[in-house]
Amino acid sequence: MTQEAQTDQVPCAAWPEPLLIATLFAMDPHGLGGISIKGRSSPFFDAWLDLLRELLPEGAPLRRCPVQTGDDRLLGGLDLATSLALGQPVVQRGLLSEVDGGVLVLPMAERLSTATAARIAAALDQGQFQLERDGLTSLLPARFGLILLDESIGAEESPPSALLERCSFRLDGNGLGLADLAGAGASFEHIQLATAALPRIGLADETLVDAICEAAQAFGLHSARPALLCLRVARMVAALDGRPAATLGDVTLAAQLVLAPQALQLPPPPEEAPPDEVEPPESQDEAEPDVTDAEPPPPESSPDTQAEAEAKTQPNPSEILVDAVKSALPAELIAALGNQAKPNRQGRASGSGGGAMQKSPLRGRPIRSRSGTLKPGERLNIIETLRAAAPWQKLRRRPQAEGAPAAKRIEVRKSDFRIRCFAQPKEATTILVVDASGSSAFQRLAEAKGAVELLLAQAYVDRSRVALVAFRNEGAEVLLPPTRSLARARRQLADLAGGGGTPLAAGIDTGLILALAEKAKGRTPRLLFLTDGRANIGREGKAGRAVAMADALLAARAVGLSNIAAVHIDTSPFPRPDARELAEAMRAIYAPLPYLNAQAISAI
């Protein structure tokens, strides 16, 4: 880069953030992984995308990948029409191969399936992917960058973590307008010169690598990928500004762009050094030093000693980076991290109420077709059947008599049949089994009522059901059958009282019977036990702690053998070994929760 270009070019630190991110990403889309843009489609996003298209090399593809794109379009496969016409398999390239050398845009990235995200992430890591479909095997190039358009509304939704982790930048497009793209950026020629100089850009000080790693660790980023991306962005900033090596200022700017949006925690406060302990003098003679025995004044410090002292007074680069990243964090994120209310960065919330997926021949979400015989009530996938038959047409064509025209019909055999398959989620039923015995039963029942109401409110969204079983005195009772009616649940729970013995085995048996009944109806049951695990009433209604605990363990093993998901919330003031043993017998998740609240129960 010439000296004139360096003087005329505005430093990168003075550019608007959206403009700087677009310029850096255009230099090396595949090397930087991708960009996650929060917000729905807007004039700002369209203008930003047009700017990126102008900065990319001529001919670089920029394609959109709809969220419902299947493997045929994403990965490629057999070109059915050409294969049937030529009589030999012909590979059709998919989106991942077509976008090689360019950028892939994913609208509504929060709705992307885990399987599709895994395929895109694997191609992004390798720069190529192995196509093995429809009897074809081919190695296709796939060096591209990602743009994730995150259109989610609540914190419970976000793009898949496998793709977010590979994105260098995260830009919040809410509230941004066309004025945020105004400014003196870099021209296409400037970007080309900076890209050519990038392999020669080093670091002004090797300790900057340690500073980046320490800053990433301070904000909870334990993967090596954010630190490597931050280092790469710092070298790109130096290349754009025309410097031969990245300085502390370049690394600071890169940390604000890369590390700040991904922060998972606030850095721990610095540890205060303990005060020096001064031993009191044993006598008055020791307290008053003798003037004659006083030590002579220290000699003047040498140049080496002065250099060491100046080095100690200089700020630590890692501390500068931590302060710079913290200053770039939004105020609401700092408050959330300070309260340890971390936003969900792992994709969609798991177990949000929907049951297990089940195959269906007629309805649901289409999944991969299967080979087999066509039975009544099933539908034939004609395209997949022809795709399976196409590679064999040359071998199946029978020799014709001399002079007879060649047969053009397609020969399909029984082994080529592909049956349409669908998957739809089952209804889920959460069964709360509550210990209503003892002096603290009123508190447990009050929290159970709050948890039931929260679960019922969620049931309206995910079409799940909630049931309540309470056990006390000598047996257990189904107080609330599986329902989605919030008004009915409130009426049933209003007059619920507690007290008496603890027939734990009866409660477990009743919950298991109800869960098996729901499972027989095609639903997905889940058991949630709220008890301290201390039983004193056996299955036969007789008092005795030893017999009652033995019966409870037998009932718990029956739950474990039924393969029904279960959670045991230990409500005792302190976690007890008996309660953990009970949870292990049920193969349940053990959650000691001495201080109950409805939100914590609903979250578990």
Ranking 308-317, 538-547, 569-578 by mean pLDDT, the lowest is 308-317
pLDDT at residue number 310: 47
Predicted confidence at residue 222, as pLDDT, reads 83
Q: What per-residue confidence (pLDDT) applies to 77? A: 78
Mean pLDDT, to the nearest integer, of 48-76?
88
Angle between helices 207-218 and 248-258 (to 10 degrees): 30
Is residue 529 pLDDT above 50, yes or no? yes
Average pLDDT score over residue span 596-600:
59
Is pLDDT above 60 for 349?
no
Percent of the chain scoring above 90 in pLDDT? 12
Predicted TM-score of the model (pTM): 0.54
CA dihedral 320, 324, 325, 328 (to 10 degrees): 170
| Dist. CA 194–CA 191, nearest whole Å | 5
pLDDT mean over 513-520: 90
Q: Across residues 85-95, what is the average pLDDT?
A: 80
Q: How many whole angstroms separate alpha carbon 498 and alpha carbon 440?
A: 9
422: Cα within 13 Å, side-chain hemisphere: 13
- Report the amino acid identity of residue 532: D
Residue 399: its pLDDT value, please? 58
pLDDT on residue 245: 92
Answer with the residue of higher pLDDT: 291 or 413: 413
Please give, one letter per residue, the 3-state secondary structure of 515-540.
HHHHHHCCCEEEEEEEECCCCCECCC
Give residue 31's pLDDT. Answer: 92
Average of per-residue pLDDT across 456-479: 78
State the DSSP string of 215-265. Answer: HHHHTT--SHHHHHHHHHHHHHHHHHHT-SEE-HHHHHHHHHHHTGGG--S
Predicted local confidence at residue 271, as pLDDT = 55
Lowest mean pLDDT among 126-130, 347-351, 541-545, 555-559: 347-351
- Give the pLDDT score at 138: 79
Q: What's the chain's average pLDDT?
A: 76
Residue 319 confidence (pLDDT):
77
Condensed to tens digits (0 to 9), the pLDDT of residues 102-159 reads 999 999 888 888 888 999 999 999 888 888 777 777 788 889 999 999 888 766 678 8
Residues 68-77, mean pLDDT to the nearest whole number: 83
Q: What DSSP assignment string belongs to 465-506?
A: EEEEEEEETTEEEEEEEEE--HHHHHHHHHT----S---HHH
| Per-residue pLDDT at 25 | 92
Residue 409 has pLDDT above 80, yes or no: no
In this prediction, residues 406-423 reach a mean pLDDT of 76
In three-state form (DSSP H/G/I as H, E/B as E, the rest C), the secondary structure along 45-108 is HHHHHHHHHHHCCCCCCEEECCCCCCHHHHHEEECHHHHHHHCCCCEEECHHHHCCCCEEEECC
For residue 455, pLDDT over 60 is answered with yes
Q: Please compute the mean of the pLDDT values over residues 6-26 and round it to a whole number.
A: 78
pLDDT in tens, 280-297: 444 444 444 444 444 455
Domains delineated in the chain: 17-182 (3.40.50.300), 198-267+317-349 (1.10.8.80), 357-394+411-425 (no CATH), 429-603 (3.40.50.410)
Greater model confidence, 276 or 336: 336
- For residue 351, pLDDT over 50 is answered with no
Cβ pair 545, 578 in contact under 8 A = no
* pLDDT attached to residue 333: 59
| pLDDT tens-digit map of 268-283 | 765 554 444 444 444 4
Least confident of 243-247, 332-336, 337-341, 580-584: 337-341
Task: Please compute the mean of the pLDDT values over residues 360-378 and round it to a whole number.
Answer: 66
pLDDT, residue 34, reads: 92
Instruction: Output the CA torsion sign for 293, 297, 301, 306.
Output: positive
pLDDT tens profile 179-227: 778 776 778 888 889 999 999 998 888 888 888 898 888 888 888 899 9
The pLDDT assigned to 4 comes to 41
Stronger pLDDT, 42 or 143, i.e. the higher one: 143
The confidence score (pLDDT) of residue 385 equals: 83
pLDDT of residue 102: 92
What does the alpha-carbon distance between residue 505 and residue 435 come to, in Å, rounded to a whole number? 11
Which residue has better confidence, 367 or 348? 367
Q: Which pLDDT band holds residue 373 (cuts at 50, 70, 90)? A: confident
